[in-house]
Amino acid sequence: MSNITAETGFILMGLSDIEELQTLCGVSFLLIYLVTLVSNLLIITLITLDQKLQSPMYFFLKNLSLLDVFLVSVPIPNFFVSSLTHSNFISTLGCACQLFFMSSLGSAEVFVLTAMSYDRYVAVRSPLHYKIIMNNVTCLLLMGVSWVTALLFGSMYTVGTFSMPFCGSNVIPQIFCDVPSLLRISCSDSFAAIYTSLGVALCLGISCIFCVVISYFYIFSTVLKIPTAKGQSKAFVTCVPHLLVFGVFIATVCFVYLKPPSKTISLTDMLSSVLYPVLPPALNPVIYTLRSTEVRSALKRLLQHFYSRDFFHVTHQNV
């Protein structure tokens, strides 16, 4: 059969065939998106403006929040517009861009979280040499390697997927373009390119998980040797949020991509596939804000600054 699907574009199935429910789902996801966007942008603003947060740990946290902003912005705005217009068509180029950015940003998030585990390892194991080891060059190098590797993987993943022929039905059983859904409408007999990309992704993912596990093994063994309970508590407070964020992201990705494939797609399957681009970006600011005293203090200082400035401005006008 001719490759008619790639020529005409794709139709995203959406969550419902009923227009009212489509609009309701679109508005619901928009609210989640706005809350996620504002909370992550707030963390970026706090870390950028507050001098007390100018440390490697918060440098990585700012980059993580920036990644979360980009990651959640790939599928949700398009889904919201489609829900309001009731037009689920997406061009082949648009589908390829969605797949590229989702895979690149998701990979970059894993790499940045791995780099953050190394930062916590150095802070706990070598506190006296922390500033020497985690200098600006090291931080920029870790971020640069994370971004470049993620972009290369995203390119390979996207090219491998769209090198396959798509024919017949152009309906993607999903609210955005992802590999499992595209494989369902592929008429290729060979998935060598996809298997290669998946093999690389699996190796990178296992390597990152191994690095994080090893780092926290040494971190916790060191923390338990601290003689005072206050010292142990302080060390745990700085490490537990990162470990929780990493665990949530890996768990959501594994839940979506490692579950057994099914021939029929249910509403639960489509909702679960939105977990990793929506749930971690929404939870990360909450986890770090609630657990980090420094972030909460920075937020109070920022609010006091704006309040005092507005109060002075209003008083000056009254006078």
Domain regions of the chain by residue span: 4-290
pLDDT for residue 82 is more than 80: yes
Mean pLDDT of 206-212: 91
pLDDT for residue 166 is more than 60: yes
Q: Please give the full DSSP string across 50-73, using - where no structure is assigned.
A: -GGG-SHHHHHHHHHHHHHHHHHH
Kindly state the percentage of the chain with pLDDT values over 90.
Answer: 21
Cβ atoms of 29 and 76 closer than 8 Å = yes
Cβ atoms of 256 and 310 closer than 8 Å = no
Kindly state the percentage of the chain with pLDDT values over 70.
Answer: 85
Task: List the CATH code of the domain at 4-290.
Answer: 1.20.1070.10
Cβ atoms of 37 and 68 closer than 8 Å = no
pLDDT for residue 316 is more than 60: no
Closest CA to 91 of 7, 176, 185: 7
Task: Give the model's confidence band at 204: pLDDT under 50 very low, under 70 low, under 90 confident, else very high.
Answer: confident
For residue range 131-152, list pLDDT tens digits in order: 899 999 999 999 999 999 999 9
d(CA 178, CA 17): 21
Helix (H, G, I), strand (E, B) or coil at 157: helix
d(CA 98, CA 158): 9
d(CA 212, CA 112): 11
- pTM value is 0.85
d(CA 87, CA 258): 31
Spatial strand order of the sheet with 10-12 comes to 89-90, 10-12, 171-172
Tell me which amino acid residue 238 is. T
Task: Give the model's confidence band at 312: pLDDT under 50 very low, under 70 low, under 90 confident, else very high.
Answer: very low
